[in-house]
Structures are given as structure tokens and as C-alpha cells.
Amino acid sequence: MNRTTAECVICGGSDNHLVDRQPEDYEYFIKPKSPLKVYHCRTCGCEFVYPRPSVEELTSFYPLHYHTYNDDHGLIAATLVAMRSKARARFFNQLIKTRPIHLFDVGAGDCRHFNDMSKYGDFDFAGVEIKPEMVEAAARRGYRVELGTIEDLDISSYENRFDIVTMYQLVEHVLDPQLLFRKAFSLLKPGGYVTGQLPSMDCIERRVFGRYWAGYHYPRHIQMVSPKALSALIKQSGFSRVEVKSALHLHAAQSAQNFLIGKLGYRAKMTHGKTPLYSSLLLLAAPFCLLEHAVGKGGMMNFIALKP
């Protein structure tokens, strides 16, 4: 059956058709108990998996050696991560003038990035995380992070408390993106901002690499979003001054690795989803990523919006 009666998780459209692509995990080689079928929404151009996995299934897709749960990324990647934390902290300092800056992070992991950002500003952090082991690691670092999903979290004690809600590499992972942004709106003070980053379906990289595009990141990415659809989703949640822009990111390095593994059969010992070639691929991908970003078609997009 090539059609589903399920509504698109991004726009709510019902004109959804099965994508002729068998997704695979080229990084951690996880196979869901029941294969997740990918559908394309003809209304907004986004893709999503259906049936939707349960919270328990979704949690099982993230092994403890998942790359965001570990520090050992190699010298080049570690340098880029440190630069990113510094840049984000400076951006938040410019955005919010009161101190401390109250920040809620959806998908907080073990909160090592909180430590990094604290070097460059006065922050009061909170968040939510789906993986129990990461919540425990966050507690050891001195941060209180709620266990579970943002969709299921009781936010009554958190409403109107935060200056910023962050969702970096998050929207594509959640079970209910519409509820995600509604809850972010409730968490924020008037005049607060929601901001984040996620893969963009409207990119040169996806056209070049096809099924090996790193943005698919099956089975952890359970929807893939276009810039236009993301902007509409955020606006319908009550936000104003919505900006969605191409982000400079060496995303194509992962796509190239996926191609080597999935198409050419390259096999090597993997560390946190990366082969020994990954640092070299980062360098090789840089000119390509600079070019696609320059024309506004990068593999990643940033977004920011204001709660009036």
C-alpha cells in the first residue's frame, strides 16, 4: 500500500505517499523491530516515518556510544564543537540583556555543552532528555534535567520562566513537532526566543548523495523538514519574527561516509559512528559545504523566533 491516511506530523496534510527508499542506519547499524516506512507529504514537501515509534522504541535507537553522548570526536571535530559553544554563548549574550540568562534545552544530553557555554556568560540552565544515562550524567555535572520527552513533560512549573529555548539537532527527532513548538511557546517569557538547528531538505547535499544523505540519519530522524514548512510550523505555534536560514556546517562529511559504507562497501572500525577517515572527510567536505551555504542551500538550517 503506497498511501497512508495518517496526517503529516509537520503540516497536518493527508496527501502522503510512500517513499521508494529503504532506509538504513550507516552509523550504528541499528534495525528497528518493525521497519519504519517513510512517507512524503505532497502538501508541505516534508517526509516522516509511519507508524510512529513508541517512546521506548525511540529511546532504543540511541546507543550509549552515540556521538553526542561522547567527547572523543578527534582533534578537528573537538575544535569545531568548542568553537560552536563559544559562538552560541556569545549570540545568546547579545540576544538577551538580563542576567542570568534562563535557558531551557530540549534534548540536553549529558550537559557538557552547558559547561562549555558557562565559560562565556552567566546562564541558568534546565532541560529535558530522553536517555536515563544522560540524565544521570547531567546530574553528576550539577544540572537538573528532566527525564523523558518534551511532549510528555509536565511543564506547569516551568511556564513563562525562560529567556531562550534551544532545540539543536532536535526537531527531526521528536514524536510530535507541533506539540514541541507549542510547549516551547509556553516555556518562554514574553520577549523570549526559541532557536535551533536541523537538517534542511532543500539542500544541494541531499540531491548529490540521495539516500546516503546524512540528514536521513535513520532510524533516529523520524521526520525531515523543508525551510518553508518549518517556518509555517513555528508561526502556527504563536511565534513572530520567524527566521530560517542556511547554516554553515560540515554536514557533507557524514553524507560522504554514508556513501562509502552504503554504496562502496567500505568497512572499518567505527568510533561513535565515525570511521578513521572522518577527520579527512571533514577537510574534504569544507569547500563543498561553503559553496552550498553561500547559495543558501546548505545541508543544515538555523531558525529563531520570538514570543511576542
In this predicted structure, what is the pLDDT of residue 79?
A: 77
Is there a cis peptide before residue 51, judged by omega within 30 degrees of 0?
Answer: yes
| pLDDT over 50 at 162, yes or no | yes
Q: What distance in Å separates the CA atoms of residue 283 and residue 50, rounded to the nearest whole number?
A: 36
What is the pTM for the complete model shown? Answer: 0.94
Could you state, in order of their start, the residue ranges of all structural domains in the chain?
54-306
pLDDT digits (tens, 9 = 90+) for 109-146: 999 899 999 999 999 999 999 999 999 999 999 999 99
Say if residue 5's pLDDT is above 90. Answer: no
Tell me the pLDDT tens digit for each residue of 201-242. 999 999 999 999 999 999 999 999 999 999 999 999 999 999
Measured at the alpha carbon of residue 266, what is the angle toward residues 260 and 271, in degrees to the nearest 5? 95
Hey, which CATH number is domain 54-306, 3.40.50.150, 1.10.1740.110, 3.40.50.10490, 3.40.50.1000? Answer: 3.40.50.150
Please give the sequence-ordered ranges of beta strands (E in DSSP) within the chain, or none if there are none.
3-4, 16-18, 37-41, 47-50, 101-106, 123-129, 145-147, 162-168, 188-199, 223-224, 240-247, 300-306
| Polymer length of the chain | 308
